[in-house]
Amino acid sequence: MSPSATAGAKEGIPKKATRTAAELDANGSGVEKANKIPRGTIVRNLNKTPGAEDELNAIIRGFFTPTVEFITETTPEITSTITPTEYQAAISQAAVTPDITSKPVELPDWIKSQLRASDPTRVKLNSGKYQFFEFFAFWCGACQALAPEIQNLEEKYGGDIIFTYLDIDDPANDYIKKELRFQKEPHFILVDGEGKKQKEWVGFVSYQELVEIFEAISPTAG
């Protein structure tokens, strides 16, 4: 690197704020006049008019005004047009619970149904009618969830189909569990009048599927 180039690198470029008006104009530079003219207006060739250097210095001082001060001076003050009393009234109104005048819908009993167990001593496999067995446990979440649907079906088809609910934790049901080959709760089994299996479901059965089956086997259906 040449000596002249090295010297230039050490001296550096003069800061813009220390340049004279002639230097700035010679470089074709325009300075934003932040304090005296609308933002965005460019002032050029100020050295051609009387007092140009003083005006340029003023512009430079404005140009290097800290940003925070500039924003503070030019940003309009934002004030609320609502009074504290009106504000509090609006908040209170929003918190008012709407008046509900309609009467709650009365839920059918089967919606509120809970698990119940049939009497094992009265259970007969060859009952002469179709029989729908459910092997369940009172602690079984899936059994509890399906109880309203199963008991709704019993309400609709109980005249033609026997619904039998067997608690798997009751030792009195062990012989039926063995006879029908119980697997896992909930276990649903449909048998005919002679006690022969027609269909079974383990874990889950859809309401609509049972409706279709019960409609087909119920003499009074439809």
Cβ 143 vs Cβ 175: under 8 Å: no
Tell me whether the omega of the peptide bond preceding residue 186 falls within 30 degrees of 0, making it cis.
yes
Q: Note whether residue 91 is domain-resident.
A: no
Decide if 89 is inside a domain: no
Q: Report the CATH number at residue 156.
A: 3.40.30.10
- Choosing from 74, 97, 120, the residue where a domain stops is 74
Q: Tens-of-pLDDT digits for all 222 residues of the chain?
A: 555 444 444 455 444 444 554 554 455 444 444 444 444 444 444 444 555 566 656 655 555 444 443 344 444 555 556 677 776 777 677 666 555 565 666 766 656 678 999 999 999 999 999 999 999 999 998 999 899 999 999 999 999 999 999 999 999 999 999 999 999 999 999 999 999 999 999 999 999 999 999 999 998 765
Q: Is residue 105 part of a domain?
A: no
pTM score of the predicted model: 0.51
The total domain count for the chain is 2
174 found inside a domain = yes
**Would you put residue 51 in left (φ > 0), alpha (ψ -120 to 50) or beta?**
left
**Rounded CA Rg of the chain:** 46
In a domain, 92, yes or no: no
Q: Which residue range is the domain that position 23 belongs to?
A: 3-74
Q: Answer whether 132's CB lies under 8 Å from 163's CB.
A: yes
Question: Is 202 within 8 Å of 183 (Cβ atoms)?
Answer: yes
For residues 206 and 119, membership in a common domain is answered with yes
Do residues 128 and 199 both lie within one domain?
yes
